[in-house]
Structure 1
Amino acid sequence: MKKLLTYILFFSLLIFCGCERKAHTPPPVESLSLTTRFFDSIAKRDSATAVRQGKTIYQLDKSRNYISTLISIQQSNNAIAQAQKLLDAGKTKEALETVNNALKLYPDNDVLRKSKVKLEQLVNADRLLIAMARARSSAAMCDARETAETGLSENRTPALIAYLAEYEKLEKSIAMREEKNTQESLEAATAAAEKAKKEDALREAEYIKFMQEMASISEKGDQMRQDAGGVPFEEPAKEETQKND
């Protein structure tokens, strides 16, 4: 019985020691050494090693949020650098593909996700800016500008902001010109309608005057017949005409 109790006590101590080892926190010197090696790897641009070391540090002390941020940056560094080179070469779609491939490895990486959104907008930038350039009316310009502002919301560089501001000024200027032209057209149409109305009234007056004159001539003819004794004007008889022949 005593021997059995000894075994039980021994195994209990083993389990306790095992738990203690799992919860073991490295001493400050060891933690400092890990952190130093982590930053050395970052300085050497050894992203893979830096990510591995950073994860170890973060697992030991999750209150160090800046380590998590640095891990994300290291995960995205290579992809972002490659994407930037492709962008500089004008290969926007290829840059987006590079970031998408990196996201497959690090799906929770915020830097890569934000970069993807920006690149997706840049892929559509040409189409949006061409639509702005092709707009002719102020209404079409307004629609194109607002679409571009929404579509490029994550890429609002100083140059783009300045361009959109100048474009909006031009848009307002064209709107004022359109309003003026519309007013002038309306006034011209009103004047033309008034002129046509006057011409119609004049023609109607002339027609009435003509009909009155015709009626007056007819009355005079009737009066002349009455003055002549009421004898109507008749054609000569056919027989008399033949005799004379």
Structure 2
Amino acid sequence: MTSNITPQRRIRLAAGIILIAAAASGAGLLSAATADAAPDAYVALSVGLAGDNPPVQTIGGMSIGPDADQARIASLSNCQNNGGNHCVFEVSAMNACAAAAANDYGEIEAASDPSVQVAKTNALSKLESSQGAHIVVSGCANGQIDPPAPPPNNPPAPPKQGPTVSFKVIVGGIQAHITDRSGVTSQCTYATDNVNRSFALPANSSYDLKIVPAIPQFRNWTVTIACDNGTSTQATTYF
């Protein structure tokens, strides 16, 4: 049997087979790459308050998931579970990172970026005041999470001062004029050798305690005033 296929036709057929094979191979690689592509992920951040008076303490919440709205809702729940009050959604990022910053006055700002460090820097730079500025919460959609930031290095509150007391002789005895310096309303006791009285002392106010009847003994008396806000004062009076 004689073949009608010329040498030139054989070359064209071979070339066509190679092109078809290459196309099929490329389509297979494209399908594999599409199948292996990672799905989109979202990181969402929310911030709540742990107090109202400066320096205001803030608490963060974060969630990572395939749906932006679900991540937002979960970040609010996480903020509340961490102890935050009035939690507010701040920022979300798809396949990127996000950070939320705050300062001592309760100002909160947020930013997102492919780099978590850049997101943190941008969030901090948005704050109008740098007093106590810090990152509340940050993270990335790929699951990379920074360790919690240490609390601001605020100096400890000074100890409360004990009340002041002054004395004056009145008809039938002696009067102690006692003034609060702690700023906290408390219940106090006035104690000396033969007197023990209880009284309420309003914050930043005074109370006149009258010891009547009292007979002068013309000697020094040591008086201790102790209050349930943790303050106390000792004084001496001659009566």
Q: Give the TM-score of the pair, scaled to structure 1.
A: 0.21
Higher relative strand content: 2
TM value normalised by structure 2: 0.22
Please tell me whether Structure 1 or Structure 2 has the larger radius of gyration of its CA atoms.
1
Higher relative contact order (CA 8 A, sep 6+): 2
